[in-house]
Amino acid sequence: MLFQLGLILLVLYVGALLAHRIKQSSVPVFILAGVGLQLFIVHSDVIGFLAQLGAMLLLFTIGLDFSPERIRRSGRTLLGATLVDVLINLPLGVVVGLALGFDLVGALILGGALYNNSTSLIARFLIDFKRTALPETEYAVGVSVLQDLITALYLAVIAGFLHSDGIGGLEILLVFVKAVGFFSGALLAAVVLRPVLQQLLAHESVEVFLFFVFAFVLVLAAIAEWLGVSAAIGAFFAGFILPEREFRERIDRVISPFRDLFAAIFFVSFGLLFDMTDIGRVLALSVLVIGVAIGGKLLTGWVIGRLGRLSRRAALRLGAALIPRGEFSILLAGLAAPTTPLLPLTIVTVFVLALVGPLLMKWAE
Amino acid sequence: MEVREVELPGIGMKFSFETEEGETLCVVIHKTGRREIYRFLPGQETPESVIELSDKEARELGAILIGTHFQPDAHDTARLVMKELTIEWLKVPKDSPLAGKSIQENKIRKLTGATIIAVLGPTKKILNPAPDTIIDSGDTVVVVGEQAQIQQFQERFGLR
């Protein structure tokens, strides 16, 4: 096992180096690394556990980006844009999923995977293209952050479906009550516990701080899993609850090395599980899905841009900027039943979009 | 002058304002510390020019712009606003109670909370002045304090 982990980390090192050199997101590179590692190692429970830890830490730090104040601050225009984004892309993905013959849960997963953008990829591309000051950038990054919150709730509901036996009226209601219950419980805790948390987090010792944050994340993740709303979502809300402003930097400094390490293993594990023979199976599907993924976001950018009185050009650029999908999509697809080709389909889609996104951004210029 | 402030998640913060000539200046401060200054001509959507600076260069440029190395004659008052502190350069008019008296005599810190950190005149430059330093009319005092303290200082001693 030690040897396997060492090998994984060695490959990750080369992959990160490569990603840095070619200025690409490391996510597709890590997945590809996992595919290559299939030659030497097989996926095991240990890797699976480390990967789960990675997913939780990843969502924890995404959750940290939110706080009730921040959502309030984001303003009406951004909420409107988010609404446009949800209303176009979620139903589009679900309808395409159903048309492709997936069951309802599968179609819902595809909808979520196509809806959610990768905030980190979008930010990186916008920085590279020197578009940070342009009017549409506020929309692009703002919308993609709010997506994560919506997708987290959405993921909780889907995880609930997978736990229950079928999708009857009663089950839907139960799942919804659980997800909303967990969410409002977390929100209430955020408000009530804020002063206490603030005091606990202010401890000068890094060691105390580290253990507190980790315990907090894991306990909430465990509660969420017990409720059937997925451990990753528990971790997300752990981030949501923590008073972000004062401690963001400290949490970032202490937690992000762990996050980077385990999240990389999380992506490698997808590569390890990726069956190369699946590519043939999903190739035709993925061409269609990629087309839908691009078309949906171009339309979204256009509608948001025109509603926000941006120029045609800016509206087009906004749509192109919203093309990259990322970690959340893969996480969602990971929930799908292994018998469906959803996971390989999503991985291929994310992979291609990460490459096509920048090309389309250049084209929109 | 109104400065618009927008958070760009994943990138940093964006500050923009319109100059007297109608151009829009946009400053993006990246989380990494990198700064970009974009200049948009009136009515233009794509920037006319972009300046990129590292954190260190940006601070140096900021210091130059604010007049650390050379104060133009054009203005006798200036202001530097930081997170909680404000540093203000204020010219002392003839009718100000400050003129001709020492810092101690006016009980400046006790009455207003603001602190004088320098007294600048045509022939003098006193940094960290002693309590018995005499301020003359026509001098420029550099005062540091919270916004409210500085305001109180200005009102009490008739400095615009």
Write a three-state SS string for A160-196. Answer: HHHHCCCCCHHHHHHHHHHHHHHHHHHHHHHHHHHHH
> Residues A99-124: pLDDT tens digits?
999 988 899 999 999 999 988 888 88
Residues 6+ apart with CB under 8 A from A250: A201, A209
Full set of structural domains in chain A with CATH: 33-364 (1.20.1530.20)
Instruction: Indicate if the pLDDT at residue B133 is higher than 70.
Output: yes
CA distances from A49 to A44, A53, A263, A265, A266 (A): 9, 6, 11, 10, 9
Residue B13 in contact with partner chain A when CB distance is under 8 A: no
Q: With contacts defined as CB-CB under 8 Å, which chain B residues touch A134?
A: 45-47
Note whether residue B73 is domain-resident.
no
Residues B93 and B132 in one domain: yes
Of the candidates A119, A135, A313, the beta carbon closest to that of B9 is on: A119
Closest-CA residue in chain A for B49? A130
Task: Quote the CA–CA distance of A222 and A234 in Å, as a whole number.
Answer: 7
Same domain, B101 and B54: no
Q: For the residues A289-313, what does the mean pLDDT come to?
A: 94
A73 to chain B, any CB pair closer than 8 A? The answer is yes
Q: What is the reported pLDDT for A316?
A: 94
Which tens digits make up the pLDDT trace of A142-153? 898 889 888 988
A103: distance to nearest CA of chain B, Å?
35
Confidence of residue A304 (pLDDT cuts 50, 70, 90): very high
**Residue whose entry in the numeric block shows the structure tokens 């994310």:** A350
For the cut 60, the answer to whether the pLDDT of residue B75 exceeds it is no
Most B CBs within 10 Å, among A118, A127, A245, A249, to test the B interface? A127
What is the CATH classification number for the domain harbouring B139? 3.30.70.1450
A141 and B46 within 8 Å at the Cβ level: the answer is no
Residues B126 and B83 in one domain: yes
A339: tokens are 């018998």
Q: Is the Cβ of A314 closer than 8 Å to some Cβ of chain B?
A: yes
Same domain, yes or no, for B93 and B127? yes
State which residues form the domain around B30.
Answer: 4-66
Quote the pTM value: 0.74
Q: Hey, which of A32-46, A123-137, A296-310, A351-365 has the most confident mean pLDDT? A: A296-310
Q: Could you tell me if residue B117 is inside a domain? A: yes
The answer on B84 and B61 residing in a single domain is: no
Does the CB of A127 have a partner CB in chain B at under 8 Å? yes
Model confidence at A164: pLDDT above 70: no
- For tokens 């050379």, name the residue: B70
pLDDT class of A68 with cuts at 50, 70, 90: low
Picking from A124, A364, A115, A69, the residue whose alpha carbon sits closest to that of residue A242 is A69
What are the residues whose beta carbons fall under 8 Å from the beta carbon of A148, sequence distance 6 or more?
A62, A65, A66, A116, A119, A328
Tally the domains of chain B.
2
The verdict on A71 touching B (C-beta cutoff 8 Å) is: no
Q: Cβ distance B108 to B135 under 8 Å?
A: no
Is B72 inside any structural domain? no
Please answer whether residues B92 and B99 qualify as being in contact, where contact means their C-beta atoms are separated by less than 8 angstroms.
Answer: yes
Nearest CA in chain A to B39: A133
pLDDT band at A340 (very low <50, low <70, confident <90, very high): confident
pLDDT level of residue A244 (50, 70, 90 thresholds): low
Is the separation of the CB atoms in A233 and A156 below 8 Å?
yes
β-strands B101-102, B86-91: how paired?
A: unpaired
Q: Structure tokens of A352?
A: 């291609």
- Stated as kind and residue range, the H or E segment containing A308 is none
B71 in any annotated domain: no
For residue B38, give the nearest of A314, A318, A132, A126 by alpha carbon: A132
pLDDT higher than threshold 90 for residue B138: no
Give the mutation candidate from A77, A132, A143, A146 for the B interface (greatest B CB count, under 10 A).
Answer: A132
Q: Does B87 lie in the same domain as B50?
A: no
| Residue A135 burial (CB count, 10 A) | 19
B63 touches chain A (CB under 8 A): no
Give the model's pLDDT for residue A238.
86
The verdict on B102 and B129 lying in the same domain is yes
**Are residue B84 and residue B139 in the same domain, yes or no?**
yes
Residue A362 has pLDDT above 80, yes or no: yes
Q: Does residue B148 share a domain with residue B96?
A: yes
What is the mean predicted confidence (pLDDT) over A131-160?
A: 87
> A234 to chain B, minimum CA–CA distance in Å?
22
Residues of A in contact with B10 (CB under 8 A): 119-120, 122-123, 141, 144-145
Domain identity same for B20 and B90? no
- B115 assigned to some structural domain: yes
Residue B42, domain member (yes or no): yes
Q: Given a cut of 80, is residue A229 above it in pLDDT?
A: no
**Cα distance from A76 to chain B (closest Cα, Å)?**
14
Contacts of A133 in chain B (CB under 8 A): 14, 16, 26, 28, 36, 38, 47
Mutate to test the interface with A, among B35, B45, B51, B52 (most CBs of A within 10 A): B45
Q: How far apart are the C-alpha atoms of A120 and A338, rounded to whole Å?
A: 28
Asked if B45 and B83 sit in the same domain, the reply is no
Same domain, yes or no: B62 and B82: no
Identify whether the C-beta of residue A90 lies closer than 8 Å to the C-beta of residue A332.
no
Q: Mean of the pLDDT values across residues A349-353?
A: 89
Beta bridge partners of B90: B141
As a whole-number percent, the residues of chain A with pLDDT over 90 amount to 29
* Predicted pLDDT at B17: 93
